[in-house]
Homo-oligomer: A and B are copies of this chain.
Amino acid sequence: MIRFEGVTKRYDSGQEALSDVSFELESGEMAFLTGHSGAGKSTLLKLIMLMERATSGEVWIDNQNLAKLSKRHIPLLRRKMGVVHQNHQLLFDRSVYDNVALPLIVAGYHPRDIGRRVRGALDKVKLLHKEKMNPQMLSGGEQQRIGIARAVVNKPPFLLADEPTGNLDPALSAEIMQLFKEFNQVGVTVLVATHDLALIARMHHRSLILRDGSLIGNGATKLAPNNDANMDDN
């Protein structure tokens, strides 16, 4: 469960990236986050994974108030979240395999389990054949998919994705979204920030719309003509 209660985020520069944002995402729900460039999407996601802290208001994850979470517990929070970063955040000093294995090593998985899981995740993004390459040798879209594989490799209960399909062609974007949907179907809470309105329209999920830091939309996407089971009362 992810809950924002009147959250405002003002950066040191004075920039107010989020203004009084409130919403709740139930466990196992899937939603989109959209809005213009600089609207505050990445900031909202950063607050959830404690890359930034709210200036005022409260962020709750699984009935835990993040403001009250001690520094010591941040790593445990982050291990619950698979995150696809807008700028990939891959390490170019090691192979694709090692990049994807990182969350497992950090969490102290046994070496015996790691290989199986990493290959499974790489297979899902169709990049198993590139496991030995350096991410720098991959195309922009391939790098993005490595980031997705790393986010899902330890099957976290939360999945946050920031513009995960910005460098992907429409067909691949749809496949990746399908992948997220499958994760959601086994209970993972999914929140995806994206500009791809057409994709949102096709997916029939709830969407949060930001404008200049304020939440101006919170419900099924207006672009969606037909709603699925999840959305049928909107």
Contacts and interface: CB of A to CB of B under 8 A. Distances in A.
A13 B131 CA distance: 12
A36 interface: yes
A41 B168 CA distance: 12
Nearest to A43: B139
A140 interface: yes
Interface stretch (A53-61, A67-75, A159-167): A159-167
A198 B13 CA distance: 36
A167 B35 CA distance: 11
A221 to B, nearest CB: 14
Contacts of A162: 140
Contacts of A166: 140, 163, 166-167
B11 A137 contact: yes
B86 A167 contact: yes
A64 interface: no
Contacts of A37: 139-142, 144-145, 167-169, 172
A78 interface: no
A197 interface: yes
B170 A137 contact: no
A38 B167 contact: no
B172 A36 contact: yes
Contact of A36 (B13, B41, B43, B169): B169
A27 B207 CA distance: 45
A230 interface: no
A166 B169 CA distance: 10
A198 B144 CA distance: 21
24 contacts: A11-B137, A13-B137, A35-B169, A36-B141, A36-B169, A36-B171, A36-B172, A37-B140, A37-B141, A37-B142, A37-B144, A37-B167, A37-B168, A37-B169, A37-B172, A38-B138, A38-B139, A86-B167, A87-B88, A140-B162, A140-B163, A140-B166, A163-B167, A169-B195
Interface of A: 11, 13, 15, 34-38, 41-43, 86-88, 133, 137-142, 144-145, 162-163, 166-172, 195, 197-198
